[in-house]
Amino acid sequence: MKKIAVLTSGGDAPGMNTAIRAVVRRGIFRGLDVCGVKNGYKGLIDGNFVSMSLGSVGDIIHRGGTILQSTRCEEFKTVKGQQRALKEVEKEGIDGLIVIGGDGSFKGARKLTIKGLPAIGIPGTIDNDIAGTEYTIGFDTAVNTAVEAIDKIRDTAASHERTYVIEVMGRDAGDIALWAGMCAGAESIIIPEAHHDVEDVIDRIKQGSKRGKMHSIIVVAEGVGKGTEIGNMIKEKAGFDTKVAILGHLQRGGAPSAYDRMMSSQMGAKAVDLMVEGEKGVMVGLKNGRLIHTSFEEAVKESHMIDLSLYHLARSLSI
Ligand code: ATP
């Protein structure tokens, strides 16, 4: 193994830059040439490679987004697209590829590995929704961003005795909603993994109001449906002054938290070490607080599990 490439793919996440830095610096430390691929799999098809040096990843450890850019590339899902990518990889003399992204990106990386290019994955998505790992890069920063925003909304909710429905990201997973709701003291948290009922939400608001609560915060995961619909239902059924806030893409930006920087640095270095040791077709992950690796097949096959004990705890703490 002489030369490796690194790319970011799918939705961006805070900490991707820190992971790129770790891959490049660890790769050079281990005696490899490292190049970056611009625009994810599209760049692989277009042969859009940039040589990476120790200095090229200077001053990015704290920056959100990804200096390599990221795209979703339909062409790469086809055999023809993958063959075009492999031709460019061969021309460039690349022996291995490190992919920072979500489960879609690992399906692509698995196909490249089967076709002869050893690939290793690093889980990068704010959603924390990949089965083969308890943690994905960007989750902690996104939760902190959501909590900070909810704290601010709580101030104005209290001043006007309002109910606020706050929709957070997470795709089909409720992790961001659960963590942000728990850490911001939401009265109700609505996630796809647990049964929900607007009557129960209204009941909890009424109980709080009886003992003098000035405001209510309901955190809704985007995977459940539209926050506006839930807000309208609460307004219509109970007549509360209800506002809706959709936090949206601000959860994808910002400087990575210390925890995300720590995870990105460790996972980036681990991916390089695995590649040097001859491993391929695996994703780096975290299990029981330790770095592990799982085959792409397993990582994308199992379904992601949320910790429902946290959900029940949050309910019991916000009565
Ligand atoms: P996020 O969780 O942020 O959405 P992701 O990696 O799951 O990240 P996707 O859009 O699903 O995001 O996948 C990223 C890219 O990976 C796709 O645009 C495509 O190029 C490639 N890809 C996805 N699925 C496949 C597949 N089945 N075969 C080959 N390539 C794939």
pLDDT given at position 239: 86
Q: What is the distance between the alpha carbons of residues 317 and 119, in angstroms, rounded to a whole number?
A: 44
Percent of the chain at pLDDT > 90 equals 87
* Best residue for ligand 1 mutational test, from 8, 16, 45, 77 (most atoms within 8 Å of Cβ): 77
% of the chain beyond a pLDDT of 70: 100
- Ordered structural domains, the chain, with CATH: 3-138+256-301 (3.40.50.450), 139-253 (3.40.50.460)
Question: How much is the average pLDDT of 24-41?
Answer: 98
DSSP structure string for 86-125: HHHHHHTT--EEEEEE-HHHHHHHHHHHHTT--EEEEEB-
Mutate to test the pocket of ligand 1, among 42, 68, 70, 72 (most ligand atoms within 8 A of CB): 72
What pLDDT score does 210 carry?
Answer: 84
Tokens read off for 206? 């009424």
Q: How remote is the CA of residue 130 from the centroid of ligand 1, in Å? A: 13
Instruction: Answer yes or no: is pLDDT of 192 > 90.
Output: yes
Backbone dihedral angles phi then psi of residue 294, each to the nearest 5 degrees: -130, 145
Range of weakest confidence among 33-47, 151-165, 252-266: 151-165
25 annotated to a ligand binding site = yes
Residue 21 annotated as part of some ligand binding site: yes
The tokens of 170 are what? 């997470």
More confident residue, 239 or 95: 95
pLDDT in tens, 238-281: 888 899 999 999 999 999 999 999 999 999 999 999 999 999 99
β-strand pairing of 96-101 with 242-246: unpaired
Cβ atoms of 242 and 163 within 8 Å: the answer is yes
Residue 299 CA to ligand 1 center (angstroms) comes to: 14
pLDDT given at position 161: 80
Start-to-end C-alpha separation, the chain: 58
Told to judge if 127 belongs to the known catalytic residues of this protein, a careful annotator would answer yes
pLDDT tens, position by position, 201-232: 999 888 888 888 878 999 999 999 889 999 99
Residue 20: band (very low, low, confident or very high) from pLDDT cuts 50, 70, 90 = very high
Global pTM reads 0.96
Residues 86-112: b if buried by 16+ CB within 10 A, e if exposed: bebbeeeebebbbbbbbbbbbebbbbb
Q: What atom of ligand 1 comes closest to residue 101's alpha carbon?
A: 6
pLDDT single digits (tens) 269-315: 999 999 999 999 999 999 999 999 999 999 988 788 899 999 999 99
- Where do we find the tokens 């990575």? 256
Length of the chain: 319
Whether the CB-CB separation of 107 and 300 falls below 8 Å is answered with yes
Q: What is the mean pLDDT of the chain?
A: 95
- The stretch 72-92 carries a mean pLDDT of 97
Give the span between the Cα atoms of 67 and 90, in whole angstroms: 24
Return all residues near 286 (Cβ < 8 A) that are at least 6 apart.
Answer: 133, 134, 135, 263, 267, 292
Provide the pLDDT for residue 208. 84
**Is the confidence at residue 319, as pLDDT, over 90?**
no
Mean pLDDT within 34-39? 98
Element (H, E) at 5: strand 3-8
Mind giving me the DSSP string for 196-249? Answer: --HHHHHHHHHHHHHTT---EEEEEEGGG--HHHHHHHHHHHH---EEEEE-GG
The stretch 177-205 carries a mean pLDDT of 94
State the residue for tokens 């085959």: 295
Q: Which atom of ligand 1 is nearest to the CA of 130?
A: 2
